[in-house]
Amino acid sequence: MNPELFQADLEAKPAALIDLAAWLEKERPPLPEGVRRVVFLGMGSSRYAAGVAALRLRARGFDAYAEYGSAAATFPAGPETLVVPISATGGSRETLDALARYAGGPSPVVALTNVPDSAITEGADAVIPMLAGEERGGVACRTFQHTLIHLLAMESELTGAGRDLPSLVRLAAEATSDLLERREQWLPLALDLLDGPNGVYAIAPAERMSSAEQSALMVREGPRRPADACESGDWSHVDVYLTKTLSYRALLFPGSAYDAQAMDWVRQRGSTVLTVGGHVEGERGSIRYAHDEDPDVALLTETLVAELVAAHWWRGA
């Protein structure tokens, strides 16, 4: 892992997205017909992305689940159960172990990976390449973004949603470029508000929970600072207690019907909240970017704020 190369990986996001958009204009996910249930298998960032994808599919009437690769058991194999193992490196031990339970069975397997011919592709009926390029910094950042995009493509294919995904990806590229190009304007504020003695707490609505989870992971993985994630509505039931005793610094991704409920406690206790992509009453600061009114653009873009904060701390800049 290398902080300078991680920074370079982040700066390469827009170009990688433009290339992926062009690929999506020509390719469709190789999914079988007759799918009734989808089981995603993964760990870390892969499972974060899968959690959002499963929620979206359930909202469209599919049985869909994001399982830890390390879970001892999950749904049994069946011809109507699509198994989607996800691993950027293609070698996550836990995901490979989970996948082995489906080997030779009736469930179709479509693997999603950034490494062609890796272990996760062995025995798969089809493989979807992430096309994120090599992450030389050693941190899953572009692969996380590309995983979300490919899962959106799978959703569209399974449900017939019909969204123009290449156009969405190009909007995400513009949003990502906007944040990168203006970082000298907003990054000092983010560094100031989030730099406290008790870590960073990321909060997001269930539909974009992966943004909070990935943001917290970036703070832990690079600069090795304490960080955790919480769903916006659940916050008032599980994390509110921390505002009473800690120097509570939160990165909030607005959009939940329960933002105001959380912010009421934040104001009462004088905690610090930095919002990304919107405004809430009581925030100490807000970071806006191009197209942030589109929740799907936000899903694909907003973690860049935490990634750039983490890169700065990690470099000791």
Clarify whether residues 297 and 218 are in a common domain.
yes
Segment 7-16 shows an average pLDDT of 98
CATH at 251: 3.40.50.10490
- pTM score above 0.75: yes
Predicted pLDDT of residue 139: 97
Q: Is 87 helix (H, G, I), strand (E, B) or coil?
A: strand
Domain that holds residue 308: 182-315
Whether the CB-CB separation of 74 and 107 falls below 8 Å is answered with no
Segment 205-216 shows an average pLDDT of 98
Q: What whole-number distance in Å separates Cα of residue 114 and Cα of residue 133?
A: 7
Number of domains in the chain: 2
CA 194 to chain centre: 20
Predicted pLDDT of residue 1: 81
Predicted pLDDT of residue 309: 98
Domain assignment present for 293: yes
Clarify whether residues 39 and 186 are in a common domain.
no
Clarify whether residues 261 and 190 are in a common domain.
yes
- Would the pLDDT of 116 be above 70? yes
pLDDT digits (tens, 9 = 90+) for 217-228: 999 999 999 999
Clarify whether residues 7 and 147 are in a common domain.
yes
Biggest distance spanned by C-alpha atoms of the chain: 58
Domain assignment present for 189: yes
Domain assignment present for 176: no
Clarify whether residues 125 and 32 are in a common domain.
yes
Whether the CB-CB separation of 43 and 95 falls below 8 Å is answered with yes
Predicted pLDDT of residue 163: 83
Domain assignment present for 172: no
Domain assignment present for 174: no
Domain assignment present for 177: no
Question: What percent of the chain has pLDDT above 70?
Answer: 100
- Would the pLDDT of 14 be above 90? yes
Clarify whether residues 158 and 219 are in a common domain.
no
Distances (CA, A) of 52 to 99, 147, 148: 21, 11, 8
**Half-sphere exposure (CA, 13 Å, Cβ side) for 23?**
16
Segment 129-155 shows an average pLDDT of 97
Closest CA relative to residue 9, chosen from 88, 69, 86, 87: 88
CA 267 to chain centre: 28
Among candidate residues 106, 136, 165, the one where a domain is terminated: 165
Q: Give 138's contacts (C-beta < 8 A, 6+ positions apart).
A: 1, 2, 5, 6
Query: What burial class does residue 138 get, using C-beta atoms within 10 Å of its C-beta: 0-12 exposed, 13-18 middle, 19+ buried?
Result: middle
Clarify whether residues 112 and 145 are in a common domain.
yes
Predicted pLDDT of residue 204: 98
Q: What whole-number distance in Å separates Cα of residue 38 and Cα of residue 56?
A: 12
Clarify whether residues 118 and 190 are in a common domain.
no
pLDDT digits (tens, 9 = 90+) for 68-94: 999 999 999 999 999 999 999 999 999
Residue for token digits 């999603």? 112
Segment 109-121 shows an average pLDDT of 97
Predicted pLDDT of residue 317: 60
